[in-house]
């Protein structure tokens, strides 16, 4: 998925009387989730992602609409095309700020999850290592002091 929002994705409302152009970019709610799915590939669909982690899903869903407004001052010459570009730029800036804010939330969540996983596996590794040591001690007690578990590969 290419993250490329263009003026084709926007709707413009021109108010010549007030000398304003408003740009609305809609259907943006799942932009980050779809980007994660396509570029990182962690979740095959929005619905699976939502069911996997509802709390995170709610944090990274974007607003469904972004708006930018360009107002022509009385000292400037009224130009609809320039107004559209300015309004679009402002709407897209708002969208990108939202996108990266939520992307940082996602990254923070993933980092915390990895830290938790590392802790869990480290504790498991320590416990398994400790259990192995206890088993070796127990076996050495059973077979006697003159033989060692590592020397006796038949066990």
Contact 33, 62 (CB under 8 A): no
pLDDT at 6 over 80: yes
Residue 103 in any domain: the answer is yes
pLDDT in tens, 91-101: 999 999 999 99
68 bridge partner residues: 23
E strand or H helix at 14, and its extent? strand 10-15
- Which pLDDT belongs to residue 142? 79
pLDDT at 150 over 80: no
What value, to the nearest 5°, has the Cα angle with vertex 43 and ends 38 and 47? 105
pLDDT in tens, 23-50: 999 999 988 888 887 777 665 455 555 5
Residue 2 in any domain: the answer is no
Closest C-alpha to 29, from 5, 63, 70? 63
Residue 93 in any domain: the answer is yes
- Which pLDDT belongs to residue 147? 56
- Which pLDDT belongs to residue 95? 96
Residue 131 in any domain: the answer is no
Residue 135 in any domain: the answer is no
* Average pLDDT score over residue span 65-84: 95
Query: Containing domain of residue 64, as a range?
Result: 7-120
What value, to the nearest 5°, has the Cα angle with vertex 62 and ends 58 and 66? 155
What is the per-residue DSSP string for 35-95? Answer: HIIIII-S-SSHHHHHHH-HHHHHHHPPPSEEEEEEE--TTSPP-HHHHHHHHHHHHHHHH
* Overall number of domains in the chain: 1
- Which pLDDT belongs to residue 137? 81
């Amino acid at each position: 998925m290419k993250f490329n929002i263009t003026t084709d994705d926007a709707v413009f409302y021109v108010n010549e009387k007030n000398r304003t152009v408003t740009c609305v970019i809609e259907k943006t709610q799942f932009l980050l989730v779809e980007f994660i799915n396509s570029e990182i590939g962690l979740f095959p669909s929005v619905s699976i992602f939502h069911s996997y982690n509802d709390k995170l899903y709610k944090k990274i869903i974007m607003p469904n609409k972004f708006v930018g407004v360009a107002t022509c001052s009385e000292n400037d010459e009224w130009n609809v095309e320039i107004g559209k570009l300015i309004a679009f730029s402002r709407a897209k800036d708002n969208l990108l700020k939202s996108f990266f804010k939520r992307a940082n939330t996602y990254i923070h969540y993933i980092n915390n999850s990895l830290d938790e996983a590392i802790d869990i596996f480290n504790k498991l590794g320590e416990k398994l290592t400790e259990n192995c040591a206890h088993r070796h001690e127990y076996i050495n007690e059973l077979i006697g002091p003159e033989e060692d578990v590592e020397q006796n590969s038949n066990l």
